[in-house]
Structure 1
C-alpha cells in the first residue's frame, strides 16, 4: 500500500509544446506495473487547450468545474460542464480544453500500454499531434 498525503506531489505546469495557454497538472496516480492506471487533475485557464492527440487505450475525462470544449477529428466542437464524463476511444484523434472565457478543471484517466508509462511530461500515454488552430478552437459549439 502506498498512501500519498495531500500536497506531497507538486503541481506541474504542462509543457508548452503540447498545450496552448496555461495548463496545470496535479498527478493523482501512476500505478506501478502490472497495473496500468494513470490519473491526474488538470486545470486549464480560459482559452487553454491540448494539441491534437490520441491515446492507445483511450481516455476518460470527468469535468469537475468550469466550462470546457472537446472535439474529435472531423466532428463538431462540443461543450463540457461540471458532472459530465467523456469517454474517448483508443486511437481517436481529439483535443480538449477550457472555453474562451471560463477555465475548466477535469480528472483525466487513462492506461499505459506496453511500458508506455513514461512520466506524464514526456508522453503521458498519448501520441501528440499538431496544435489546434484558433479557427478550430473558436468554431461554434454543440451541446
Structure 2
C-alpha cells in the first residue's frame, strides 16, 4: 500500500510542476479539508463515494479525486474533454468503451482515457474498488455525462478478461 501511496504522491508532484509560475508557495490539502460526497444517482449506478483530493488551479488544469465503488457500482457513460488517468488503489477496476472492450486493472495499475472517449468505470460484482482519478479540464469543463450503462453492457464481469492485450 505504501508503494501505491508513494507512486500517487510522485505522480501528483510531477503533474503540479507548472504551479510555480502562478503560486509562490506549496499548497497543502490536509486530511479532512477535502469535499466528500455520494456519487449522484443520475451519474452512478450503485453506491459510490467521491473524495476530492485536490482542485484544479489557474496553473494546473486538472484535479484529483479518490472514488470508492461498492461491489457492482459503476459510472454512467461519460467523456473527459482533456482526458483522465485512473490508478487503482484497492480492489479490481473495470473500464469499458462503446466498442465493447473492457479492461480489468489491479492495485498499482493505471489506465489513461484519452480526451473525448466515451467510457465507464466501476467495481467488479464481488468486491469494492477504490481508484485515484486525475482529470484534466478544458475550457473549465472536466466531464460530459451521458446515459447510464446497462447491466447487459457490463455483462458478467467474472467472465471478462483484459481485452487490452
Query: TM > 0.5 between the two?
Result: yes
Structure-2-length-normalised TM-score:
0.77
| CA apart distance, 1:81 | 1.1
| CA apart distance, 1:10 | 4.0
* Structure 2: unaligned runs, 5 residues or longer: 1-25
2:58 maps to 33
2:82 maps to 57
Are the aligned partners of 2:100 and 2:153 in contact in 1 as well (CA < 8 Å)?
A: no
1:141 maps to 160
2:144 maps to 127
| CA apart distance, 1:2 | 2.5
2:33 counterpart SS class: coil
Are the aligned partners of 2:29 and 2:54 in contact in 1 as well (CA < 8 Å)?
A: no
Q: Which runs of 4+ in 1 moved over 4 A?
A: none
Once superposed, what is the RMSD of the aligned Cα atoms?
1.3
1:69 counterpart SS class: strand
**Pairs aligned (count):** 135
More helix by share: 2
| CA apart distance, 1:18 | 0.2
Distance in 2 between the 1:31 and 1:70 partners? 24
